[in-house]
């Protein structure tokens, strides 16, 4: 069966991933989910080579902050190179392992391997990746922050009912920046903004 025929995201969860349903803290997000390419790591189109994985500035600091607060972190990533036949599942996994080694561990990974024409529900801007990651973590989408670099990340967050934070790069379009619910100059600032927004939602102190 091809990846496109299944139309399900690839989801993997860390063995010791926390369950936020068990330990909710209303002043903090249930989870923070990151786009991979152009957000956590330099965007290398259709990258299947772990040696080309390069973290973006302040990614490690942003993740340290979240892990220090006990907030689950995850990755939600479109990898249409699989559907195009340019990437194998093993290559996507090899890149994931390198990202995990450099910036991990992540509590959940949700990857869409499909093409736009596959009509799946997971390819961003659809909400499926965000919802699948939330479900595995026991996180409420409305209490989850999604950090990304383009408009489709923000649209996926909105469609899932989550809080979107845009961290633009040089390829982010002006319209995407103007339309984002929140924007920040780098990942650490973006995460702080997301924390503050979740604290405000219920009147908690960020
Ligand atoms: Mg991206
Ligand atoms: Zn998909």
Residue 33 lies in a domain: yes
What backbone torsions phi and psi does residue 183 show, to the nearest 5 degrees?
Answer: -130, 150
Query: What distance in Å separates the CA atoms of residue 132 and residue 39, rounded to the nearest whole number?
Result: 20
194, 145 in Cβ contact below 8 A? yes
Residue 88 lies in a domain: yes
In the prediction, which pLDDT does 17 show?
A: 76
Residue 206 lies in a domain: no
Least distant ligand from the CA of 8? 2
Closest CA to 76 of 123, 113, 109: 109
In the prediction, which pLDDT does 2 show?
A: 47
In the prediction, which pLDDT does 86 show?
A: 96
Between the CA of 5 and the centroid of ligand 1 the distance, in Å, is 24
The question of whether 37 is a catalytic residue gets the answer: yes
**Candidate list 35, 107, 118, 149, residue with the active-site label:** 35
What does pTM read for this prediction? 0.93
The question of whether 35 is a catalytic residue gets the answer: yes
In the prediction, which pLDDT does 4 show?
A: 43
Domain count, the chain: 1
Half-sphere exposure of 101 (CA within 13 A, CB side): 10
Q: Which regions in the chain score pLDDT beneath 70? A: 1-6, 21-24, 201-206
The residue segments making up the domain with residue 100 are 3-201
CATH number where 93 lies? 3.40.50.1000
In the prediction, which pLDDT does 206 show?
A: 42
In the prediction, which pLDDT does 65 show?
A: 96
User: Cα dihedral angle (101, 184, 159, 27), rounded to 10 degrees?
Assistant: 80
Closest CA to 144 of 201, 184, 103, 100: 201
pLDDT digit string, tens, across residues 138-178: 999 999 999 999 999 999 999 999 999 999 999 999 999 99
């Amino acid at each position: 069966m091809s990846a496109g025929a299944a139309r399900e995201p690839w989801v993997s969860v860390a063995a010791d991933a926390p369950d936020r349903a068990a330990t909710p803290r209303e002043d903090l997000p249930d989870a923070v989910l990151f786009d991979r390419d152009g957000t956590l790591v330099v965007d290398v189109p259709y990258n299947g080579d772990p040696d080309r994985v390069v973290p973006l500035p302040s990614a490690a600091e942003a993740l340290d902050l979240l892990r220090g607060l006990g907030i689950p972190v995850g990755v939600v990533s479109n990898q249409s190179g699989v559907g195009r036949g340019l990437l194998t599942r093993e290559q996507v996994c090899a890149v994931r392992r390198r990202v995990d080694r450099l910036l991990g561990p992540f509590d959940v990974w949700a990857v869409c391997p499909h093409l736009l024409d596959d009509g799946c529900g997971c390819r961003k801007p659809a909400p499926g990746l965000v919802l699948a990651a939330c479900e595995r973590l026991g996180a409420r989408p409305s209490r989850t922050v999604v950090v990304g670099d383009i408009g489709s990340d923000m649209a996926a967050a909105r469609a899932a009912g989550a809080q979107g934070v845009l961290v633009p790069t040089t390829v982010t379009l002006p319209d995407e920046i103007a339309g984002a619910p929140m924007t920040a100059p780098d990942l650490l600032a973006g995460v702080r903004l997301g924390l503050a927004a979740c604290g405000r939602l219920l009147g908690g102190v960020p």
